[in-house]
């Protein structure tokens, strides 16, 4: 039976890859999507999610717009990586997703509670909506099997020398989620910076020439260009898609169960995910932290998903 997942995201190039994998993978059922401000403004990330679902002919998947700003800070966006649209490089159709009165938090709670069994929650943006949903509807915690989130890093960072973008943008929300008692898999930069779609693989996608691959190839060229320029990475690290992949194939990751706390105060360390690798605090682990990835198997899964979408989406 397919695993029901709910994605909370801020599309974003790699968020788009995460949604595509969730839609295409036969062992996953995407029961809803909420958007949050992060890579771009709340307005843009919501519109981008609508465009993605329209491209994929899946406007039936419930989509709701969430927080426009972090819990108690000013929004920081990431135009250097995702452009002014949030999805620069891609030519996407206008969103044909029907308007919905329900907020992201209401949709997230309802989708989780109405599902007959536990749901895996996959946040791929700042954790604002997730923290708000857990606070407003604490009863959902029992119906969430696990939170598999993209964020943080034990040794690696990308926004300050100490912090990864999603956690940096809303550290208070992240701190609440890590302290919230729901089991967490932290798919952070130690794994996702190695989950790279290289230039040959982008060319391979381009050569597929289908309705989805035609959009994905230039999108990934833009994203790899930004990552090469800023971090010297040879290709596109598709961070968020790895979190979705880890739901169906947890053994793609090398993990360690540890206690993780999020720094909210430090001038230099705001948004750092402080991981107690050696059990120094004596506190029980609250997260399974990804430290490595089987890149070959993950990228094969992603390319297979794009192939499936090319076959199922009508051009
Ligand atoms: C994360 O930050 C965003 O820019 C990406 O979409 C990803 O979720 C990587 O640090
Ligand atoms: Ca993201």
Residue pLDDT, tens place only, 214-273: 999 999 999 999 999 999 999 999 999 999 999 999 999 999 999 999 999 999 999 999
Whether the pLDDT of residue 107 is over 80: the answer is: yes
**DSSP letters spanning 101-130:** -S-HHHHHHHHHHHSSS-EEEEE-S-SHHH
Query: For 84-109, what is the mean pLDDT?
Result: 94
Per-residue model confidence (pLDDT) at position 98: 87
Asked if 149 and 262 touch (Cβ cutoff 8 Å), the reply is: no
Distance CA 124, CA 239 (A): 8
3-state helix, strand, coil split of the chain in percent (to 5) is 40, 20, 40
Asked if 22 and 245 touch (Cβ cutoff 8 Å), the reply is: no
Per-residue model confidence (pLDDT) at position 90: 87
Whether the pLDDT of residue 315 is over 70: the answer is: no
Distance CA 251, CA 98 (A): 37
Query: For 153-163, what is the mean pLDDT?
Result: 97
Identify each DSSP E strand in the chain by its residue range: 3-9, 28-35, 63-65, 119-123, 144-150, 184-187, 196-197, 236-237, 253-258, 260-262, 273-275, 287-293
Using the mean position of ligand 1's atoms as its centre, give its distance from the Cα of residue 148 in Å. Answer: 14
Q: Which of these, 211, 142, 154, lies nearest to 182 by C-alpha position?
A: 142
- pTM of this prediction? 0.98
What is each CA distance from 117 to 47, 112, 144, 207, 283, in whole angstroms?
Answer: 30, 9, 9, 40, 30
Asked if 278 and 217 touch (Cβ cutoff 8 Å), the reply is: no
Q: How many CB atoms lie within 10 A of CB 120?
A: 23
Asked if 94 and 64 touch (Cβ cutoff 8 Å), the reply is: no
Per-residue model confidence (pLDDT) at position 1: 86
Whether the pLDDT of residue 81 is over 80: the answer is: yes
Whether the pLDDT of residue 19 is over 70: the answer is: yes
- Considering only the C-alpha atoms of the chain, give the largest distance between any 2 of them, rounded to a whole number of Å: 56
Domain residue extents for the chain: 3-312
In this prediction, residue 175 has a pLDDT band, given cuts at 50, 70 and 90, of very high
Kindly report the average pLDDT of the chain as a whole number: 97
Whether the pLDDT of residue 8 is over 80: the answer is: yes
Per-residue model confidence (pLDDT) at position 89: 94
Query: For 17-34, what is the mean pLDDT?
Result: 98
Residue of 13, 25, 82, 239 marked catalytic: 239
pLDDT tens, position by position, 233-249: 999 999 999 999 999 99
CA atoms within 13 A on the CB side of 249: 18
Query: For 63-84, what is the mean pLDDT?
Result: 96
- In words, the CATH class of domain 3-312 is alpha beta
Q: Which residues surround ligand 2, an ion (CB under 5 A)?
A: 10, 12, 15, 124-125, 240
Per-residue model confidence (pLDDT) at position 140: 98
Q: What are the two backbone dihedrals, phi and then psi, of residue 258, each rounded to the nearest 5 degrees?
A: -145, 165
User: At CA 175, angle to CA 169 and CA 180, rounded to 5?
Assistant: 135
Q: Which of these, 215, 22, 41, lies nearest to 120 by C-alpha position?
A: 22
In this prediction, residue 314 has a pLDDT band, given cuts at 50, 70 and 90, of confident
Q: Which of these, 176, 221, 207, lies nearest to 310 by C-alpha position?
A: 207
In this prediction, residue 169 has a pLDDT band, given cuts at 50, 70 and 90, of very high
Distance CA 289, CA 243 (A): 12
Using the mean position of ligand 1's atoms as its centre, give its distance from the Cα of residue 27 in Å. Answer: 24
Ligand 1, pocket residues at CB < 6 Å: 12, 14-15, 39, 78, 81, 124-125, 150, 158, 164-166, 239-240
């Amino acid at each position: 039976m397919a695993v029901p997942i709910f994605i909370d995201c801020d599309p974003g190039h790699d968020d788009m890859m995460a949604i595509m994998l969730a839609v295409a993978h036969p062992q996953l059922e995407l029961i809803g999507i909420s958007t949050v401000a992060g890579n771009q403004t709340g307005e843009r990330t919501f519109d981008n999610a609508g465009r993605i679902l329209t491209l994929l002919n899946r406007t039936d998947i419930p989509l709701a717009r969430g927080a426009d700003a972090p819990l108690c800070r000013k929004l920081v966006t990431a135009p250097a990586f995702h452009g002014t649209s949030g999805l620069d490089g891609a030519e996407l159709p206008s969103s044909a997703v029907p308007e919905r009165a329900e907020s992201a938090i209401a949709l997230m709670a309802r989708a989780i509670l109405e599902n007959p069994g536990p749901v895996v929650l996959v946040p791929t943006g700042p954790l604002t909506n997730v923290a708000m949903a857990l606070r407003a509807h604490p009863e959902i915690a029992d119906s969430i099997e696990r939170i598999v989130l993209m964020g943080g890093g034990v040794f690696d960072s990308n926004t300050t020398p100490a912090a990864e973008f999603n956690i940096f943008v809303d550290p208070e929300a992240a701190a609440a989620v890590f302290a919230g008692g729901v089991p967490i898999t932290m798919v952070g930069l130690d794994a996702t910076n190695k989950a790279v779609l290289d230039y040959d693989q982008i060319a391979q996608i381009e050569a597929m020439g289908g309705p989805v691959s035609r959009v994905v190839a230039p999108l990934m060229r833009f994203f790899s260009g930004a990552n090469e320029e800023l971090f010297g990475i040879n290709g596109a690290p598709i961070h968020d898609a790895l979190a979705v992949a880890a739901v169906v194939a947890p053994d793609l990751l090398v993990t360690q169960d540890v206690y993780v706390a999020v720094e909210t105060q430090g001038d230099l360390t705001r948004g750092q995910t402080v991981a107690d690798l050696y059990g120094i605090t004596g506190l029980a682990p609250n997260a399974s932290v990804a430290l490595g990835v089987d890149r070959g198997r993950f990228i094969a899964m992603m390319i297979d998903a794009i192939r499936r979408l090319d076959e199922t989406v009508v051009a």
